[in-house]
Amino acid sequence: MAKLLRLGGKPASAGLPALGHVADPTAAAHARLASARRWRSAELFGAAHEIEIEHGHAVYRLRLTALGKLILTK
């Protein structure tokens, strides 16, 4: 059976805590989601099919496709 190696040639399990000591990943995910802000796409788009989002010095375009998918481009 092959061993998984991390960069540097160390075994993948080297330096990782035992499974009993790993924080509950589900609880962490719920905590992140609870603090996230949420909008419905209909609230953002209204009657439009494209909106612009300013992020730093860049402008991104969020488009709603005919199939109901979202595409984010710079």
For residue 64, count CB atoms less than 10 angstroms from its CB and return exposed for 0-12, middle for 13-18, buried for 19 or more.
Answer: middle
Q: Which CATH number is 46's domain given?
A: 2.10.70.10
Per-residue pLDDT, 66: 95
Cβ-contact 30, 37 below 8 angstroms = no
- State the Cα–Cα distance between residues 50 and 65, nearest whole angstrom: 9
- Taking only the tens place, the pLDDT of each residue in 41-54 is 999 999 999 999 99
Residues of the chain with pLDDT under 70: 1-23
Number of domains composing the chain: 1
Residue 52: give the domain boundaries: 40-74
Per-residue pLDDT, 46: 95
Per-residue pLDDT, 4: 52
Q: Is residue 55, in this structure, part of any structural domain at all? A: yes
Per-residue pLDDT, 47: 95
Q: Is residue 26, in this structure, part of any structural domain at all? A: no
Q: Is residue 17, in this structure, part of any structural domain at all? A: no
